[in-house]
Structures are given as C-alpha cells and as structure tokens.
Amino acid sequence: MVSEPEFQQAYYEIVSSVKDSTLFEKFPQYEKVLPVVSVPERIIQFRVTWENDKGEQEVAQGYRVQFNSAKGPYKGGLRFHPSVNLSILKFLGFEQIFKNALTGLDMGGGKGGLCVDLKGKSDNEIRRICYAFMRELSKHIGKDTDVPAGDIGVGGREIGYLFGAYRSYKNSWEGVLTGKGLNWGGSLIRPEATGYGLVYYTQAMIDYATNGKESFEGKRVTISGSGNVAQYAALKVIELGGVVVSLSDSQGCIVSETGITLEQINDIAAAKIHFKSLKEIVGEYATFGENKVKYIAGARPWTHVSDVDIALPCATQNEVSGDEAKSLVASGVKFVAEGANMGSTPEAISVFETARSTAATAGDAVWFGPPKAANLGGVAVSGLEMAQNSQKVTWTSERVDQELKKIMINCFNDCIQAAQEYATEKNTKILPSLVKGANIASFVMVADAMLDQGDVF
C-alpha cells in the first residue's frame, strides 16, 4: 500500500536517476546515503487553534519537516492549503534538500505548513491564524537553525504576520523568515525570484539547444497558475519579447491567442490577494474588456493552446498528465520548465524525456527542466536575503538580479555536467537529461556533506 504517494514519487525520481547512471559504479560509497537521506532528521506536528470572526474556536494541524541540515540550516517554505498533509510536506522537504544544494549556497532542506483554507477568511482571521501557527513553530526555528519562507497560501501578508508573531514571542528581531517586507529585512527581487529564475533557466536551455541563436523573443509560452510564480514568470516572458498565451487557477484557465498583457497580469496580481478567481477577474476588470481572453471553467490550459514553443507549469503538483504532455508535444512545445514543484506526473516526464532522448537532432527534441533546478530562484534569493540580514545590509535590485542570473546559469551548467559525466542514454551528448543531471549533481553535493560529517558511515 502506498501511504505517502507524493513523497514516494519524489523519492523514486531521485533513486531512479542515480541508480540508472554510472554514479554508484564509479563511487560505491554513495549508495549507502540513499536510505539515510530519505528519513527526515525531525518532524514536528502541532495543534493550531484560533478564534474566527464569529467568536468560535477553529483548529487545524500544523507541521514542520526538518529534513536535512548537512548543508546548512533547514530552509524551505510554509504552505497553507486544505490539501496539506505529511506526504506532501515530506515530498516538498525532500525535494528542497537537493534544490537548495543546487543553489551553491549553505542551506539544508525543510518544509512546513498548515492544513487550512484561507479563502474567504478576513485579514483579522488570517493574522490570528499566523500568530497561532507561530506560537508553536517559534520554539523550533531560528536564524541558524531553520529559516522558513512562503509557498502556496503564504505570501507577503502572511510572512509579515508570522514574522511579527516570532518577534513578539521570542523578543528577537532576526532573519528567521525570508520573503520579508522591503523595509523590515526583506531582499529586493525576492517576490519576483522564482518566476524570474525560471525564465533565466529556460533561457539557458534555449541558448544551449540553439547554440545561442534563439531567445524568448517571439516565442509562444503557455503558463499554468496565476499566483506568485506564474505572475512573475509571465511578466519576465513579456519583458523578453515572448507571448503568454495562458494562465490558470484552481477553478479554470484563460487562453489568449494574441497574448495576455502586462496590465492584465497586474490586475490578476492585485485581485488574487483578495482570493478572486480568474472567472471573476475576467468578468470584473476593465483590462479584460479591451483585450478579450477565453475563460475555460474546470480546465488546465495544456490541451487548449496551439502552436506553443514553451510550457511553464506554475500552479501545483501533478498538474500535467501523460495525455496533456502528449498534447503539448503535438502543439509544438520544445522547452518545458517547472515553476511548480513536481508539476508534471511521472507519465508526463516520461513523455518529455522520450521526446528528447529519441530525437534525431536537437531541433526536433523536447527538453524538460526539472523543478529542483528550474524553480530554485526563490530559495536562492532567500539565501541572499539571509546573507544580507546577517551582514545587516541591503543590496540593490540590480545586484540581486545579477546574482540570481549567475546562480541559475551555474545550476544549469552543473546539471549538464553531471548528466554528461554519469548518464548513459542516447542523446546525452546532444541534449543531456536535465532530470538526471539535476538529481545526480545535487545528490552528490548532499551525499558528500553527509559522509564528511558522519551522518552516513
């Protein structure tokens, strides 16, 4: 019986990459790391209870999975969503260990959250929930121990309340959360970082595959989600001359053949803070009157777009099925990079990877950028926020953006190098598997730290 399906899916992905390579043959000591790294160092589960606006008590389950600290303090987001459970947080925490290693910064891996639906809750309720959550979490985190950030349902507003709660419970102003407000310890470019970084990583893929001959200019890009990651990915795509043909939310998707505009994305960003659905936004905002988009209820965009070059899943896990992946390939997609964690199902990844490894030329291939590499921009800038906090300085947005670009490109090169060194399949020299490259490169970094420190013997 599969009791933790999401975690087992994430674990299996790493295991199959490293086992299906020459890594253990060349360095047998790494095999001993697998069973140890798959068990979290610590899991904290706790009751969170607050008073709602009607004066009634509400209760929910809170979690923090402190998965691995060999490479630095536990680091990873907090998700507030009704789907939160231990399997999902273990999958996200496990993925985070390897993603954080690929940033090249000193960060371990963790993830946490609360099983709650914030939709329809007032600002006051959200503040009380954040304070109640932090009442317990504050006992287990600290700037050198565990530094959470946001994730689904936890944006700037929630980070503000969580930070205020930590400060008041601990009587300490410290860089214990990232994604903070700009005038109280936050880093410039942190809100943009995951979406921007995703586009920089995809740009590195395009450069490599086309020998620097092509860019985002004129490319048609299908994006899912309409939250933080999707919004900034879409804005960067538009800035680089691409056409954003879709966005989505949990209720449906919007498709525009001529391209969703910057103004429309800004309206979506403003409305999403108030939990409006795309359906409501399209009906209510003037910008959608001028440049009409098609709203499709209950659908993801993948089968409703045509002539696309690039797909960026940016909503949630398992949101591209095998059939949807086939439909994207049939529509002409050449590059897929995941803003969402585990956005594609294993069947979808297999469709993309097959379309790469069996292609006759790089021009015919479909190339897949896995989330632990493609979406690490957010946690990378969180790492830069921690560095700025400890030095008590604020870098300019240009400097942070430059560092972010550098980190994304270094990560891309690490993925390529590891795949070329250890992957064995056909086409490794033309377009290496970035899934294998990311998994092997990051596994080696984490394994070395664990072996050096005696976590594995």
Q: What angle do CA 9, 13, 16 make, to 5 degrees?
A: 130
- Give me the least distance between CB of 154 and ligand NDP, in Å please: 8
In this structure, are strands 294-297 and 310-312 parallel, antiparallel, or unpaired?
A: unpaired
Interface mask (CB under 6 A) for ligand NDP, residues 7-36, using x and -?
Answer: ------------------------------
Q: Whose Cβ is closer to ligand NDP: residue 72's or residue 148's?
A: 148
Q: Whose Cβ is closer to ligand NDP: residue 23's or residue 116's?
A: 116
Cβ within 8 Å of residue 336, ≥6 positions away: 310, 311, 312, 313, 328, 344, 352, 366, 367, 368, 369
**Contact (CB, 8 A) for 375 and 192:** no
Binding piece for ligand NDP, criterion CB under 6 A, among 167-175, 180-188, 249-257, 403-411: 249-257
* Number of C-beta neighbours around residue 270 at 10 A: 12
Site residue total, ligand NDP (CB under 6 A): 25
The one-letter amino acid code at 13 reads E
Interaction between residue 177 and ligand NDP (CB under 6 A) = no
392 is catalytic: no
- Give me the least distance between CB of 340 and ligand NDP, in Å please: 4
Q: Whose Cβ is closer to ligand NDP: residue 120's or residue 212's?
A: 120
- Give me the least distance between CB of 186 and ligand NDP, in Å please: 13
Q: What angle do CA 321, 4, 198 make, to 5 degrees?
A: 50
Interface positions, 259-278, toward ligand NDP (CB under 6 A): 272, 277
Dihedral of alpha carbons 391, 396, 402, 407, sign:
positive
- Give me the least distance between CB of 225 and ligand NDP, in Å please: 4
- Give me the least distance between CB of 268 and ligand NDP, in Å please: 9
User: What is the number of the residue whose Cβ is closest to ligand NDP?
Assistant: 227
Interface mask (CB under 6 A) for ligand NDP, residues 132-171, using x and -?
Answer: ------------------xxxx------------------
**Contact (CB, 8 A) for 247 and 254:** yes
Q: Whose Cβ is closer to ligand NDP: residue 230's or residue 431's?
A: 230
Q: How far is it, in rounded angstroms, from Cα 58 to Cα 286?
A: 38
- Give me the least distance between CB of 189 and ligand NDP, in Å please: 11
Binding piece for ligand NDP, criterion CB under 6 A, among 102-110, 161-169, 208-216, 338-346: 338-346
Q: Whose Cβ is closer to ligand NDP: residue 92's or residue 423's?
A: 92
* Number of C-beta neighbours around residue 210 at 10 A: 13
Binding piece for ligand NDP, criterion CB under 6 A, among 168-176, 335-343, 412-420, 443-451: 335-343
Q: How far is it, in rounded angstroms, from Cα 221 to Cα 239?
A: 13
- Give me the least distance between CB of 171 and ligand NDP, in Å please: 29
Phi, psi of 18 (to 5 degrees): -75, -35
Q: Whose Cβ is closer to ligand NDP: residue 261's or residue 382's?
A: 382
Interaction between residue 345 and ligand NDP (CB under 6 A) = no
Eight-state DSSP code of residue 108: -
Q: What angle do CA 451, 455, 457 make, to 5 degrees?
A: 60
Q: Which of 17, 316, 433, 442 is the binder for ligand NDP (CB under 6 A)?
A: 316
Interaction between residue 249 and ligand NDP (CB under 6 A) = yes
- From residue 141, how far is each of 33, 79, 399 by CA, in Å? 26, 16, 29
- Give me the least distance between CB of 426 and ligand NDP, in Å please: 31
Interface mask (CB under 6 A) for ligand NDP, residues 185-224, using x and -?
Answer: ---------x------------------------------
**Contact (CB, 8 A) for 224 and 314:** yes
- Give me the least distance between CB of 102 and ligand NDP, in Å please: 12
Q: How far is it, in rounded angstroms, from Cα 236 to Cα 192?
A: 9
Interaction between residue 340 and ligand NDP (CB under 6 A) = yes
Q: How far is it, in rounded angstroms, from Cα 209 to Cα 205?
A: 6
To the nearest 10°, report the CA torsion of 158, 189, 333, 21.
-90
**Residue 265 host element (H or E):** helix 262-272
- From residue 403, how far is each of 144, 233, 407 by CA, in Å? 22, 17, 6
How long is the chain?
A: 457
Q: How far is it, in rounded angstroms, from Cα 368 to Cα 13?
A: 14
Interaction between residue 287 and ligand NDP (CB under 6 A) = no
Q: Which of 110, 112, 225, 370 is the binder for ligand NDP (CB under 6 A)?
A: 225
Interface mask (CB under 6 A) for ligand NDP, residues 374-393, using x and -?
Answer: -x--x---------------
Q: Whose Cβ is closer to ligand NDP: residue 151's or residue 324's?
A: 151
Out of 71, 90, 99, 111, pick the active-site residue. 111
- From residue 77, how far is each of 133, 158, 404 by CA, in Å? 14, 12, 18
Q: How far is it, in rounded angstroms, from Cα 49 to Cα 216?
A: 47
Residues engaged in binding ligand NDP (CB under 6 A): 150-153, 194, 225-230, 249-251, 272, 277, 314-316, 319, 339-341, 375, 378
Active site residues: 111
